[in-house]
Amino acid sequence: MPQNIKKRIDELRKQLNKHGRLYYTRGAPAISDSEYDEILRELERLEKYHPEFMSPDSPTRKVGRAVRDGYSKVSHTSPMLSLGSVHSAEECRKFDATSRKEIGASKVDYACEPKLDGLSVELVYENGIFVRGATRGDGLVGEDVTENIRTIRNVPKKLTGKNPPELIAVRGEVLMHIRDFQELNKRQISMGKTPFANPRNAAAGSLRQLDFKITAERKLDVYCYGILEYSCDMPDTQEEAARLISEFGLKTAPDALYCRTIDDAVKYHHELEAKRDDLDYEIDGVVIKVNRFAFQQKLGMRTTNPRWAVAYKFKPRKEITRIEEIIVQVGRTGILTPVALLQPVEVGGVTVSRATLHNMDEIARLDVRIGDYVKIHRAGDVIPKVIEVISAKRTWKEKVFHMPEKCPSCGSVLEKEDVHYRCPGGFTCPAQVKEAITHYVSRSAADIEGLSDRTVQQLYEEGLAGSIADIYSLRREDILKLEGWKEKKTDNLLSAIDASKTITLDRFMFGLGIRNVGQHIASVIAARFGSLNAIMRSSSDELMEIKEIGPEIAESVITFFHDKKNVKQIEALVDAGVHVIQKTSKGKFSGKKVIFTGSLGSFSRSEAKKLVESEGGEIASSVSSDVDFVVAGEKAGSKLDAARKKNIPVLTEKEFLKLTDQPSARARG
């Protein structure tokens, strides 16, 4: 009898955990709240009468449960409308012709913005103070996500400027940048959780968390693009409204363009579509808005869409192709990912020949087999993924895929961990070592230009780099012996390696590749502890004092530094001359965001970067209004133009050098 009860308790806990996960992390509940509560009540009852089966990690003990009742509802200051779509230049011209006719004007100008693929929100400021954030909901009433939005770094809690309006409500899009999305998914995978399908789902799932500590752990951003309510005089145009929003310190939709004619707007659409993969946020079209508010008013509304704006959508990025083979890839943490090798196919302008299948559960869910025709989806930088099997094309000669028993890289017997298979080989598994090196040298960590995945592979296979620290003892003559390595390329690599010896603590922490420690978490840990030694000595409780850190991350950090092999690796790096420095908040560039563009004469890019960072500054990735200045070298291109357009100060290399007190003709190398 007690065994039956224990079995039932386990079953109920399993169900609750599963549905909790679907609800919280994926934003896709499979059962209703009342069904969930019924299961929960049964479990509570059983645990009450059988305390011997109580467990500290039971769903009945979780804080999140108490707030499952949901968010409170809030009415928007004014309706949050949706948009009608068009798919061709012809339809755009039709929209322009109708607008001109209705307005009675021979010319109409347009404010064109990227159509951000995120989650629409309203942000309300009273007397300059952020008081409320709400999701769009049905357009009239949304969910109160004030506390969640408060955790987003780029949302000012207080507007800039001396005379804030009594009220301003702006509309914007909450999104997750592609690199943060990839990092989050890596974390999800390494924790045995299902990765998010795309950055939009990740943003929505992260924002709509009843426990806003989880939102705080995710990196979200908000771009604003409209004023819903304003207690002062409204500006005359959308273009001016965007400027006003930005003057208040809110981030506005980047890459927006004011167009005098519909033809310019169409050109803007084509240009942005071509640039789509270079952006670090997802867009699925452009929004063309009649610029003058007076004209907008004249045009008015349909039921839910304004007649003064359209979404001109991009070509879809889904295609059908055949799976020729399924292989497994070993990741940095030893997790094996099944990957489909595809018959090459062009998706939205890019040839795709591989797509991820995530894990065996996903393969089972899709019921995907070798030889199947599948629909694949490519989103920006994100690795294409298989989204469904075209069952009508199945011949039943397709082969079922089985996970190998041993690691294809080192032969270790695989271990099962939640939904994943894992190679326990660690430092003895070539695939994991290569991945660890690639991660350490990557852009967000040591940032060694010239050390691509392929080069790391080459160095490893030639026996020149068997560990991260080996990178620092590479000899010029050995590199020169490698295929494709001439003197200039070799010298550039060696100078980049040398420059990376001074590394800020946050980058170093990130580069170590600790499970669950992405860029953001690495930087908050670095800021809190200040030195590598302090981090290595820290306790789980100390780590959890940091707002963004929960038990899972704390445990990963502690486990990492308790592993002697990891400590040895750090010692080897220090012995090789790696000097870990703390980011300073007192430096010359403290709090400043800087962009370099064009080629620099006295510095390599990475040296310049290190200099800015060691003086407390940050390198921005794109020219947005929060960039403080741009350093333009020779042949500076579009970034310089964008900076000028946005009135961002531009410095020459000489002027920058003056600021840094560096001698101007520093020798390279």
Instruction: Return the active site residues.
Output: 115
173 vs 217 by CB, closer to ligand IVH = 173
Per DSSP, 73 falls in state: E
Query: Other C-beta atoms within 10 Å of 383: how many?
Result: 15
Q: How far is the CB of 173 from ligand IVH (least distance, A)?
A: 5
Instruction: State the Cα–Cα distance between residues 408 and 431, nearest whole angstrom.
Output: 9
Q: How far is the CB of 222 from ligand IVH (least distance, A)?
A: 12
Q: Which helix (H) or strand (E) holds 614?
A: helix 605-614
* 438 contacts 499 by C-beta, under 8 angstroms: no
287 vs 431 by CB, closer to ligand IVH = 287
Q: Which residues of 246-282 are buried (b: 16+ CB within 10 A; e: fewer)?
A: bebbbbbbbbbbbbeebeebbebbeebbeebbebbbb
Encoded tokens for 665: 């003709």
Greatest CA separation for the chain = 84
82 vs 329 by CB, closer to ligand IVH = 82
226 vs 380 by CB, closer to ligand IVH = 226
256 vs 357 by CB, closer to ligand IVH = 256
139 vs 551 by CB, closer to ligand IVH = 139
43 vs 259 by CB, closer to ligand IVH = 259
Contact string (CB under 6 A) for ligand IVH, positions 88-117, x = contact: -------------------------x-xx-
Which conformational region is residue 647 in: left (phi greater than 0), alpha (psi within -120 to 50 degrees), or beta? left
Q: How far is the CB of 622 from ligand IVH (least distance, A)?
A: 16
Nearest residue to the partner ligand IVH, using Cβ:
120
DSSP-derived 3-state class of residue 122: strand
Which one of residues 74, 81, 266, 657 is an interface residue with ligand IVH (CB under 6 A)?
Answer: 81
Instruction: State the Cα–Cα distance between residues 236 and 294, nearest whole angstrom.
Output: 7
Q: How far is the CB of 76 from ligand IVH (least distance, A)?
A: 12
Q: How far is the CB of 465 from ligand IVH (least distance, A)?
A: 45
The identity of residue 203, as a single letter, is A
Q: How far is the CB of 167 from ligand IVH (least distance, A)?
A: 20
Q: Which stretch binds ligand IVH (CB under 6 A): 75-83, 240-248, 367-375, 424-432?
A: 75-83
**Binding residue count for ligand IVH, defined by CB under 6 A:** 15
Q: Which stretch binds ligand IVH (CB under 6 A): 10-18, 201-209, 305-313, 508-516?
A: 305-313
* 59 contacts 47 by C-beta, under 8 angstroms: no
* 130 contacts 145 by C-beta, under 8 angstroms: no
Which one of residues 287, 323, 469, 496 is an interface residue with ligand IVH (CB under 6 A)?
Answer: 287
Contact string (CB under 6 A) for ligand IVH, positions 245-284, x = contact: --------x-------------------------------
Q: How many residues appear in the chain?
A: 669
96 vs 211 by CB, closer to ligand IVH = 96
Rounded to 5 degrees, what angle do the CA atoms 502, 506, 510 make? 100
3 state SS for 527-571? HHHCCHHHHHHCCHHHHHCCCCCCHHHHHHHHHHHHCHHHHHHHH
Instruction: State the Cα–Cα distance between residues 25 and 44, nearest whole angstrom.
Output: 23
Query: Other C-beta atoms within 10 Å of 41: how many?
Result: 12
Strand duo 650-652 + 629-632: pairing: parallel
Encoded tokens for 498: 């040398």
Q: Which stretch binds ligand IVH (CB under 6 A): 77-85, 141-149, 359-367, 529-537?
A: 77-85
59 vs 226 by CB, closer to ligand IVH = 226
Q: Which stretch binds ligand IVH (CB under 6 A): 80-88, 330-338, 478-486, 491-499?
A: 80-88
Which one of residues 156, 249, 306, 371 is an interface residue with ligand IVH (CB under 6 A)?
Answer: 306
Which one of residues 15, 77, 99, 120 is an interface residue with ligand IVH (CB under 6 A)?
Answer: 120
Q: How far is the CB of 349 from ligand IVH (least distance, A)?
A: 22
Instruction: State the Cα–Cα distance between residues 212 and 191, nearest whole angstrom.
Output: 20
Instruction: State the Cα–Cα distance between residues 339 and 153, nearest whole angstrom.
Output: 35
The identity of residue 102, as a single letter, is E
Q: Which stretch binds ligand IVH (CB under 6 A): 81-89, 422-430, 649-657, 659-667?
A: 81-89
Residue 173 interacts with ligand IVH (CB under 6 A)?
yes
Per DSSP, 427 falls in state: G
Contact string (CB under 6 A) for ligand IVH, positions 210-249, x = contact: ---------------xx-----------------------
Q: Which stretch binds ligand IVH (CB under 6 A): 238-246, 303-311, 465-473, 563-571?
A: 303-311
* 240 contacts 230 by C-beta, under 8 angstroms: no
The site for ligand IVH (CB under 6 A) is made up of 81-83, 113, 115-116, 120, 173, 225-226, 253, 287, 306, 309, 311
